[in-house]
Amino acid sequence: MTFDSVTRTLAVNACRLVEASSNDSIATAFADIDTKLNAKRLQSLLLDITRLLKAQVLGYSSTSYHPQGASAAVLIGQGESALVHLDKSHLAVHTYFEMDELSPWGSFRCELELSTCGELPVEQLLRRVSREFEVELFFLDCRVRGITRDDAGRMKQAAYPLDFGDNRLGLAGYSLICNEDSGSGVHAVLMADEMDQATRSEWIRLLGVS
């Protein structure tokens, strides 16, 4: 039997900017987003992702915050197809809103973290989040912890095999603008190809990229 005591974690920060002529109009846009992406909707998103994982829901919770924001979490088991792995994982999502009266821009961020002893369906997960949140920018952090064995049975530190180079995820509509590999994890940034010029210029300014 293959020995695999490994936890794989994917943290996704999905962001978009809101531009308005006044803070009141930014607040209105935020209220619309918050109404759409309430705790019940976030919980439904997590259950959809659980189906992608072919996992079993062991328990879940969700809550809405005042004045804005929501979060949901699901505890999942990997099922019979993953008996060689540890048997529990978790999946959580939170939303954040930020604006400043001195800036014409506000920002919305959704943070989703999946920690699993099974495989990470990264491309499918990002497509699902992109549809849900109309994402302009993805910040992706993938890391692996634990030990495994090679084909000869020798124990070794687990390594993360995922490569975002040249956007090999094939995520349609996004371009890779940052890709860093630390050996045990990967950090990448994907930017939507279709954005109005003002929003793209603001992202470039914030990120300090050309």
Catalytic residue annotation: 89, 94, 117
Instruction: Using DSSP, state whether 120 is helix, strand or coil.
Output: coil
Distance of CA 69 to the CA centre of its chain: 16
Q: Which residues contact 108 (CB under 8 A, 6 or more apart)?
A: 15, 16, 17, 18, 30, 33, 95, 96, 97, 98, 133
| Rounded CA separation 201/210 (Å) | 9
**Of the candidates 106, 181, 99, 109, the residue with the CA atom closest to the CA atom of residue 138:** 109
Q: Which helix (H) or strand (E) holds 23?
A: helix 23-36
Distance of CA 49 to the CA centre of its chain: 11
**Of the candidates 70, 77, 78, 79, the residue with the CA atom closest to the CA atom of residue 45:** 70
In the chain the first and final C-alpha atoms are separated, in Å, by 49
